[in-house]
Amino acid sequence: MHTPFPFSAERRRLLRLGGAAMAGTLLGPSAAAVGKARPNVLFLMTDQQHIDTIAAAGCGHVHTPNMDRLVKAGTRFDTSYSTNPVCSPARSSMLTGRPSSETGVFKNDLPIRPEMPNLGQWLAQEGEYECAYAGKWHLPMTHTTRIPGFRVLNTALGGNGYLGDGFTSRACAAFLRQRSRTKPFCLVASFLQPHDICEWLRLNSRRLDRLPYPELRDRLPPLPDNFHFDPKEPGLITGRRLGNEGLANRWSEDQWRYYIWSYYRHVETVDAEIGRVLDALEGEGYGNETLVVFTSDHGEGLGHHQNTHKNYLYDEAVRVPLIFSLPGEIGANQRHRERVVSGMDILPTICAYAGLAAPPKVRGHNLRRVLGGSPAPGGEFCIAEVQGNQGRMVRTPEFKLIAYRDEPIAQLFDMRDDPGETRNLIDEPGQADTVRSLRNLLGDWERNLDAAPGIPHREFWAART
């Protein structure tokens, strides 16, 4: 049960409806058009959300009654990864089921290859879904009025989720309340928060002599267990970190903790907006016939390894929440701890629930059987790309290998024994077979890619074994 509203509300929205919409409302949903066989789809996307930021999933420092609703109603994956921990590439994968090397979006501000259908185009074309999109797009424009396959509901505010997400949730809620119900919908609510932590870092980078709000002293969360980092990591990562706000300004421990506290407040702001959309969904009676997908494009440093921001391959940046719910079809309050999934799996899974084949050449896995509680192939590994195709991560249930082009140091972590990625095992003699096996996985994967034209360093990765 989420936090009850301490007020009553009555909507006079019928006054706003046109004739066709009114007829649809009076007739109610068409059983032939919508239902468990062809559920609606609500795709809730946040931006830059660290995986450990949901109260019901174990985070003790946030109040997230609405994400808690999703956790309790659905099945979540703990070993869930972004395909490329920066905005545009990750989004291109979620919306096409393909890795960013294939979508052509190997860095921010690039468009998806035009011949590659996105979620909206595919569901509208193959499933006659009514597809709508609100909020951040970033493929290539951050916000836009035109997205292939989707009706764009609103554009929100560029670079400001703290204020702009409210317009996204309001547009989504109004859409749900006033749509005609003649066919199933696919609504993408793409929120910008907690990405505004980037603005927060610019506004709060200078070293503080004391906390700006003394009342917070007893409320600040602790530093993460893996706050310290291995100085012998790849130079590319060290260089980035040394320039971050905390290290460049010699933050005190309290200031790091204040940053983490502030990040959690950012998460709470988007939680409230999600609640507005979920209330509209349930208030309109769509709750039992809607597949809800919740995820984020990438994570946030949050002080792990003394990192801020994203665009590297430690878990804090590349691991993301992923929750699916559909009452009666997907287990409530279920959790997969070790199955390895990625953002590419979202589109084929949605297609499976919609009764559609996935688009050709999709590389993500359909998780429907897994979500129904049955064993299913896949989940043995995933690959992530990073930094303009300069880096790769191979993740299995047990290990993670990180390698960068032009970097002599690679990293191997035993994720069961060392989930905080603090001990690099790459040079351990006993791990040679593991490293070889992970490199082979990567090599096989790379050689089979249908890389987009112009992807940098393509030959380098294809030659890796």
Q: Tell me, what amino acid is at 36?
A: K
Binding of other proteins by 175 (CB under 8 A) = yes
The CB-of-447 to other proteins minimum distance in angstroms stands at 21
Whose Cβ is closer to other proteins: residue 277's or residue 326's?
Answer: 277
Q: Which region, judged by CB under 8 A, interacts with other proteins, from 11-19, 45-53, 321-329, 354-362?
A: 11-19
- Interface residues for other proteins in 275-314 (CB under 8 A)? 275-276, 279
DSSP letters spanning 128-194: --EEEEEE---SSSSS-S-BTTBEEEE---TT-HHHHHHHHHHHHHHHHHH---SS-EEEEEE--TT
- Interface residues for other proteins in 381-420 (CB under 8 A)? none
- Interface residues for other proteins in 44-83 (CB under 8 A)? 63
Whose Cβ is closer to other proteins: residue 43's or residue 261's?
Answer: 261
Whose Cβ is closer to other proteins: residue 164's or residue 224's?
Answer: 164
The CB-of-16 to other proteins minimum distance in angstroms stands at 5
Number of residues in contact with other proteins under rule CB under 8 A: 78
Binding of other proteins by 21 (CB under 8 A) = yes
The CB-of-242 to other proteins minimum distance in angstroms stands at 3
Pattern of binders to other proteins over 103-142, x per CB under 8 A? ---------------------------------------x
Q: Which residues contact 412 (CB under 8 A, 6 or more apart)?
A: 399, 400, 401, 402, 424, 425, 426, 428, 431, 434, 435, 438
Binding of other proteins by 26 (CB under 8 A) = no
Cα separation, 51 vs 64, whole angstroms: 13
Binding of other proteins by 374 (CB under 8 A) = no
Binding of other proteins by 203 (CB under 8 A) = yes
Helices (H), 161-301: 161-178, 197-203, 235-242, 245-248, 253-283
Of 312, 210, 203, 297, nearest to 254 by C-alpha is: 210
Cα separation, 312 vs 309, whole angstroms: 9
The CB-of-5 to other proteins minimum distance in angstroms stands at 6
Whose Cβ is closer to other proteins: residue 216's or residue 376's?
Answer: 216
The CB-of-398 to other proteins minimum distance in angstroms stands at 33
Binding of other proteins by 337 (CB under 8 A) = no
Binding of other proteins by 273 (CB under 8 A) = yes
Q: Which residues contact 146 (CB under 8 A, 6 or more apart)?
A: 152
- Interface residues for other proteins in 183-202 (CB under 8 A)? 196, 198-202
Q: How far is CA 211 from CA 188, 250, 306, in A?
A: 39, 15, 19
The CB-of-372 to other proteins minimum distance in angstroms stands at 34
- Interface residues for other proteins in 419-458 (CB under 8 A)? 456-457
Angle at 213 between CA 209 and CA 218, to 5 degrees: 95
Of 414, 416, 380, nearest to 400 by C-alpha is: 414
Burial class (CB in 10 A: 0-12, 13-18, 19+), 436: exposed
- Interface residues for other proteins in 143-172 (CB under 8 A)? 143-146, 153-160, 162-164, 166-167, 170-171
Binding of other proteins by 1 (CB under 8 A) = no
> Helix 346-353 crosses helix 87-96 at what angle (to 10 degrees)?
30
DSSP letters spanning 349-404: HHHHHTT-PPPTT--SPP-HHHHTT---S--S-EEEEETTTTEEEEE-SSEEEEEE
- Interface residues for other proteins in 213-272 (CB under 8 A)? 213, 215-216, 238-239, 241-244, 247-249, 262, 265-266, 268-269, 271-272
Distance of CA 419 to the CA centre of its chain: 20
Whose Cβ is closer to other proteins: residue 18's or residue 377's?
Answer: 18
Q: Is the Cβ–Cβ distance between 181 and 30 less than 8 Å?
A: yes
The CB-of-175 to other proteins minimum distance in angstroms stands at 6
Q: How far is CA 97 from CA 39, 130, 343, 357, in A?
A: 20, 20, 7, 12
Whose Cβ is closer to other proteins: residue 128's or residue 459's?
Answer: 459
Which of 206, 217, 232, 361 is in the footprint of other proteins by CB under 8 A? 206
Which of 107, 179, 181, 368 is in the footprint of other proteins by CB under 8 A? 179
Cα separation, 151 vs 131, whole angstroms: 6
Q: Which region, judged by CB under 8 A, interacts with other proteins, from 76-84, 112-120, 183-191, 204-212?
A: 204-212
Cα separation, 247 vs 251, whole angstroms: 6
Burial class (CB in 10 A: 0-12, 13-18, 19+), 344: buried
The CB-of-39 to other proteins minimum distance in angstroms stands at 22
Whose Cβ is closer to other proteins: residue 15's or residue 32's?
Answer: 15
Which of 1, 12, 114, 429 is in the footprint of other proteins by CB under 8 A? 12
- Centre a 10 Å sphere on the Cβ of residue 195 and count the other Cβ atoms it contains: 27
The CB-of-2 to other proteins minimum distance in angstroms stands at 10
Q: Reduced to 3 states, what is the DSSP secondary structure of residue 109? A: coil
Whose Cβ is closer to other proteins: residue 52's or residue 268's?
Answer: 268
